[in-house]
């Protein structure tokens, strides 16, 4: 495996390289089991694998280099890793900030093994100082589904069920050294449908963000190297040249919000997404939407964005 070169200064430049992970070999047999492991529905392994193959083949056809990290695990860990049901939600495991990649910290013990098995692989692919492997020492919890990289100046982070404010404060110096100047911290309600930030809002292009309507009422704490102040959610985004497209039409949080930007004009979206959301705004109607069936994978409680870890985006 050749060296990877992290480069992501936003969520919308052309996606060049992405890390994924094939789904577990286990089937979740019934609704009660799904509920017990905090999934939405029972999942058939074969159907999930077919969904994953469509995801990866579509990305490849779009010119994206796709790396399934599961095939690079040491042989002695593969049998165990194949039984980790959440392992394909790779977005949470790490995040590229500019030309620096930081390792995440699991917000629940059920997911901790994925982080500990993935990060040593990442260390072999990305050299220091680009991979700050010690950054998460002392963090309580920081899952990167709670992070949006807005531009070369600003990052938006949710402190919620899976990410602690103490960890954000511990991370900030790494982000400032990476080249960013401020962090906006929002605090979403603690519910299953607000597990991560990217289940409630997502960048749709260079100057637009799609967000659930209730977020207009939320304050944002602005943290810089020298100060901490507050503003409202929309005002923070406007500060960074983003217009917010508010939606109250969400019918399926995962399918409707958790899409992936392929380039400034193209979005990879679940076939189950609510079409009305993209028809109600002139900016969104101009987007090219590529639909894929990830229905079985979404039953685990995450969408296409959750299943992909961008390593390189370029203009």
Which pLDDT tens digit goes with each residue over 174-209? 999 999 999 999 999 999 889 999 999 999 999 999
Confidence class of residue 55 from pLDDT cuts 50, 70 and 90? very high
Q: Token digits for 196?
A: 């991560």
The CATH number corresponding to 14-314 among 3.75.10.10, 3.40.50.1820, 3.40.50.300, 3.40.50.880 equals 3.75.10.10
- Residues pairing with 62 in the sheet: none
pLDDT at 280: 82
Give the pTM. 0.97
Location of structure tokens 């994925």: 114
pLDDT at 215: 98
Whole-angstrom distance, CA of residue 203 vs CA of residue 149: 9
- Residues pairing with 155 in the sheet: 149, 183
DSSP state of 61: H
CB within 8 A of 153, min separation 6: which ones? 180, 181, 182, 240
pLDDT tens, residue by residue, 118-152 = 999 999 999 989 999 999 999 999 999 999 999 99
- Residues pairing with 157 in the sheet: 147, 185
Which one, of 87, 73, 93, lies nearest residue 133 by Cα? 93
Location of structure tokens 């977020």: 215
Furthest-apart CA atoms within the chain: distance in Å: 52
């Amino acid at each position: 495996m050749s060296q990877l070169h992290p480069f992501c200064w936003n969520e919308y430049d052309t996606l060049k390289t992405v890390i994924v992970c094939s789904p577990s070999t286990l089937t979740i047999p019934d609704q009660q089991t799904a509920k017990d492991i905090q999934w939405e529905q029972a999942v058939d392994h074969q159907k999930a694998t077919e969904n994953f193959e469509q995801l990866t083949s579509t990305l490849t056809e779009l010119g994206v280099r796709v790396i399934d990290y599961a095939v690079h695990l040491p042989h002695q860990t593969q049998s165990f890793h194949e039984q980790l049901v959440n392992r394909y939600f790779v977005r949470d495991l790490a995040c590229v900030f500019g030309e620096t990649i930081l390792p995440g910290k699991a917000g629940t013990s059920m997911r901790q093994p994925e982080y500990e098995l993935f990060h040593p692989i990442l260390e072999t692919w990305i050299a220091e100082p680009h991979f700050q492997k010690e950054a998460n020492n002392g963090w309580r919890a920081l899952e990167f589904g709670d992070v949006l990289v807005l531009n070369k100046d600003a990052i938006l982070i949710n402190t919620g069920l899976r990410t602690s404010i103490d960890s954000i404060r511990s991370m900030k110096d790494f982000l400032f050294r990476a080249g960013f100047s401020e962090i906006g911290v929002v605090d979403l309600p603690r519910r299953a449908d607000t597990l991560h930030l990217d289940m409630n809002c997502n960048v749709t292009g260079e100057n637009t963000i799609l967000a659930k309507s209730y977020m207009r009422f939320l304050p944002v704490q602005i943290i810089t190297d020298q100060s901490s102040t507050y503003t409202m959610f929309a005002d923070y985004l406007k500060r960074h040249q983003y217009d917010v497209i508010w939606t109250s039409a969400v019918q399926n949080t995962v399918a409707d919000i958790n899409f992936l930007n392929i380039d400034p004009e193209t979005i990879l979206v679940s076939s189950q997404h609510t079409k009305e959301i993209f028809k109600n705004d002139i900016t969104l109607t101009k987007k090219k939407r590529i639909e894929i069936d990830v229905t079985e994978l979404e039953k685990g409680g995450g969408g296409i964005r959750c299943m992909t870890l961008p390593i390189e985006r370029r203009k």
